Amino acid sequence: MEKAVDRIKEAIDKKENILIYGDYDCDGVCSSAILTLFFINKGLNVYTHIPSRFKEGYGLNVETVEPLIEEFEPDLIITCDCGVTAKQEVEHILDLGLDIIVTDHHEVNEGQLPECIVINPKQDDCNYPLDSLCGAGVALKLVEAVGGRAEALKYMDLAALATIADMVPLVDENRLIVALGLKKENRNSNGLKALLKSQGFVDVVTSTELAYKIGPRINAAGRMGDAYRAFELLVSDDETRIQELIAEIEEDNNRRKTLSDEMLKEAFEDLKEENLVDTRAVILTHPSWEKGITGILAAQIATEYRRPTFIIVGTGDSCKGTSRGYSGVNIYELLSKCSDILLEFGGHAQAAGFSIAEKNIPEFKKRIQTFLKDLPHEPFLPTLEYDLKITEEEVTVDFIKELDLLEPLGIENTKPLFCLSLDRLNISPTKNSIKHTQIVTSGGLNIIAFNFYNQNQFLTGSENKDLILELNINSYMGKEEAKSILRGVSPSNLVVNDTIARANYLKNISIKKTAEPIFSTYTSKDLKDLLDNNIYGTLIIAGSKKSYDDFLAKHAPVYLYHEFMFFSMFNNYSRIIVSPIFDSNSALANYNKIIFLDSPVGGGLVPYLNKKAKNAKIYAPKINNEAEFFSSIDTSREAIGEVYKIFRRNEDLTAASIFSYFKLLSNRVVDITAPNFIFNLSIFNELGLIKVTPDPFSIQVLKDKKVELESSNILTYAQNLKKGGHN
């Protein structure tokens, strides 16, 4: 830093030309803006270059720098958020007779440092007390060292934005930078103020709002086009131009969202072809995915699959890779172990980029998986963490207001989560969507659970449940009240309604038989040998509460995730699920073993799984108990006719789901059971006698439709079973 200060003061005294060379992400743009504005205020001529992610790539690029030098004739070049790995490029610049200062914060390979002034707190000989500053934080400290703290305060808003967007730990000085940068009196960038206003923030803005609303928009400019526009926005004083840039960036952000959704869907399809049973990392390659979105995609997959994720795009001699970490797995260390087959790499413990020749990708995959295979299970398992156990009485407006003293919050200094242990809960869909769940406790506390429909199973029953909550205040019409967001739930036991379980399992009789089933049978003595300790890849299916309870009484695998009806997460964790609905985010393709505890119902279920889980070996009990699921069903013509009349009389009913519909129907009709309801619904649907609308669930009887009841394959199948026949 001392050498950099001396050189910059010399540049200021001599009115030298400065070339700023940044990065195209929010951190690079903000750090470039900080130094640019500082040097302009010192009366210097400054030219700032923000490279194209697509044409020039990350970091110093000789082919880019040389024309800039020729055109602008700088005396000094300063990099922002890049350069610590650019040893050869820096050497070339020095050979041209120019001075260069590298400001960066990425991990350092001490043997490959550029031979110039390098300001990076991650250097081994750096005694600065915080090594986790972002690139803009380093730029801010350079301004402070040259111009003093009052000068640095002018750019605190930009440093705060970058600190949050680059996801460095929000502790120590980073937290102070953000705290100061969030203050309205420290907002000096007209472009940033206008962008905040466009998102509805005028007086107060939090670190969370910067992370979700502002950072992604700055990043979108570089992901979808020219990142220089984001830089121009942050340094501009022209209100007309600022509004033009905000409109462009908003359009970029919308396109980014659409493209992200499309790529995520493609990635999920591609993952069906990957071996996720024997691997602790997700590594996907795709020749034409948009490089600007791969970081977002990697983060989404790492979160969903709870594994470090690597996305590699392109073909030929220089494919581009993006990686995101999960839990305690250090991405940078993994890449370091593969350095001999990488063209270049750089980044942090939880986010990094690299280049690799296409021919080396198979070896790269092999090495990454080898490095991870001996790690313990725990970092890869779903866990619920919280800061403090509280009682419902402690959740007050005053208490939540006291929590505001902990702001700003972010990475490694997250918003506190609280564990509330409760038994009975009142749950219902929100007014706006069945996907979200409204929870009301016995004490009247309102809790919202977003996108929780498939996990509502963990909220039912009278047994104790640990709710992990984020606490907030809801203000409406001048009134304040405590509200909570559910971040996770851990029930003491899985609650299984046996009647619903048997009825839902029976529903599989509707699956048409498209091929001969491929499966093996096992005896009760064989079952233990079928179980292993892999946390991935084994799916155990129970058709009733009895078979579920019997299994748990006799077997205790090291790890199993327990669910009822719905697959609550996409990951291929080894799990036991009672009466599954197979279209509820079930990643069947990533299982290599499916074990039925009850005989599969209907002739179409196993062929369906043979197709959906083509790599899985399927096992069913040798003793066939399929008839048990039909034992309470009356298959006579008269009984079926009565149910048909019930459907005709209740066409006005609608409900959130099929079993919510049945509950409403059973309140009107006392002599209909869940298995009879499902069985007859399946027959009428097969024969085209009814039209079923799934969301919201309703049944319309097609009155002019005439068919022979005996033409139903489902009815014939059930009657044969009840007669003791085999299907």
Q: What is the pLDDT of residues 457-511, one digit of tens each?
A: 999 988 899 999 999 988 888 889 888 999 999 998 999 999 999 999 999 999 9
pLDDT along the chain (727 residues), means of 10: 97 97 96 98 96 85 92 96 93 95 91 93 94 97 97 97 94 97 94 96 91 95 93 97 97 94 92 91 92 91 94 92 89 93 88 93 95 89 92 94 91 94 90 89 91 90 93 86 93 92 94 94 93 93 96 88 91 95 77 96 94 94 93 92 93 90 90 92 94 90 88 92 71
Does domain 274-380 match CATH 3.10.310.30? yes
- What 3-state DSSP class applies to 560? coil
Does domain 2-253 match CATH 3.40.50.2300? no
What pLDDT, on a 0 to 100 scale, did the predictor assign at position 701?
93
CB 298 within 8 A of CB 260: no
What pLDDT, on a 0 to 100 scale, did the predictor assign at position 726?
55
CATH of domain 632-722: 1.10.10
Q: Which of 714, 710, 711 is nearest to 727 (CA)?
A: 714
CB 183 within 8 A of CB 157: no
Question: Tokens 């969030």 belong to which residue?
Answer: 182
What pLDDT, on a 0 to 100 scale, did the predictor assign at position 586?
64
Give span(s): CATH 3.90.1640.30, the chain: 2-253
User: Dihedrals φ, ψ of 106, to 5°?
Assistant: -75, 165
Round to whole Å and give the CA distance between 413 and 408. Answer: 9
What pLDDT, on a 0 to 100 scale, did the predictor assign at position 346?
86
Is the dihedral angle over the CA atoms 441, 444, 445, 446 positive or is it negative?
A: positive
Give span(s): CATH 3.10.310.30, the chain: 274-380
Give span(s): CATH 3.40.50, the chain: 498-629
What pLDDT, on a 0 to 100 scale, did the predictor assign at position 302?
94
CB 572 within 8 A of CB 587: yes
Question: Tokens 């790492």 belong to which residue?
Answer: 302
What pLDDT, on a 0 to 100 scale, did the predictor assign at position 476?
81
What pLDDT, on a 0 to 100 scale, did the predictor assign at position 323?
95
User: How is residue 707 annotated by DSSP?
Assistant: -
Round to whole Å and give the CA distance between 718 and 515. Answer: 19
What pLDDT, on a 0 to 100 scale, did the predictor assign at position 251?
96
Over residues 316-327, the pLDDT tens digits come to 898 999 999 988
The CATH-assigned architecture of domain 388-491 is: Beta Barrel (2.40)
Give span(s): CATH 2.40.50.460, the chain: 388-491
Give span(s): CATH 1.10.10, the chain: 632-722
User: Which residues touch 604 (CB under 8 Å, ≥6 apart)?
Assistant: 508, 509, 510, 511, 512, 513, 514
Round to whole Å and give the CA distance between 587 and 561. Answer: 14
CATH of domain 498-629: 3.40.50
Q: Which of 586, 594, 631 is nearest to 610 (CA)?
A: 594
Round to whole Å and give the CA distance between 411 and 416. Answer: 12
Which two structure tokens, joined as six digits, stand for 277? 């049973």
Round to whole Å and give the CA distance between 224 and 406. Answer: 35
User: Dihedrals φ, ψ of 466, to 5°?
Assistant: -95, 115
Round to whole Å and give the CA distance between 638 and 632. Answer: 15
CB 230 within 8 A of CB 218: yes
